[in-house]
């Protein structure tokens, strides 16, 4: 199934914190995020329902970094996959991809925008 998802470019939304909250896995590191990513499956990190599960989208990226070892480059690729897997109009997709690329190119501690890396 993973090979087919990758071959057909089917984006899978993954929310590590809700998988733990629902008892699908015992810990965020057990979510197959890294396995899907390395297999070439487009992955969109999601926050499911923050009112029900708590952590918002930023926390999902923090989990990807801490529990799955994603670097800034990997986090940016996850964000790109989310955008490319969305139904956003092409102009908005291009704008969002540009923002992701700008975030990645900005040295930590130098970004002036909200969500800047520390």
- pLDDT of residue 71 exceeding 50, the answer is yes
* Cα gap 53→16, rounded to integer Å: 10
Q: Give per-residue pLDDT as tens, 38-52.
A: 999 999 998 877 677
Quick one: average pLDDT of 76-92? 96
**Could you give the 3-state DSSP secondary structure of residue 14?**
strand
- pTM for this entry: 0.85
* Extents of the domains making up the chain: 2-105
Residue 118 tokens read as: 């520390």
Which DSSP letter does residue 42 get?
Answer: -
24-33, pLDDT tens digit by residue?
999 999 999 9
**Which pLDDT does position 95 carry in this prediction?**
97
pLDDT of residue 5: 96
For 29-61, b/e burial (b = at least 16 CB within 10 A) is eebbbbebbeeebbbbbbbbeeeebebeeebbb
């Amino acid at each position: 199934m993973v090979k087919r998802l990758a071959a057909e470019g089917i984006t899978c939304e993954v929310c590590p914190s809700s998988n733990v909250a629902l008892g699908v896995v015992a810990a965020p590191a057990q979510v197959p995020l890294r396995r899907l990513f390395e297999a070439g499956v487009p992955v969109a990190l999601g926050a499911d329902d923050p009112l029900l599960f708590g952590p918002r989208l930023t926390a999902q990226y923090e989990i990807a970094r801490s529990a799955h070892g994603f670097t800034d480059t990997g986090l940016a690729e996850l964000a790109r996959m989310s955008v490319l897997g969305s139904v956003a109009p092409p102009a908005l997709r291009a704008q969002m991809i540009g923002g992701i690329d700008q975030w990645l190119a900005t040295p930590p501690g130098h970004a002036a925008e909200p969500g800047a890396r520390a």
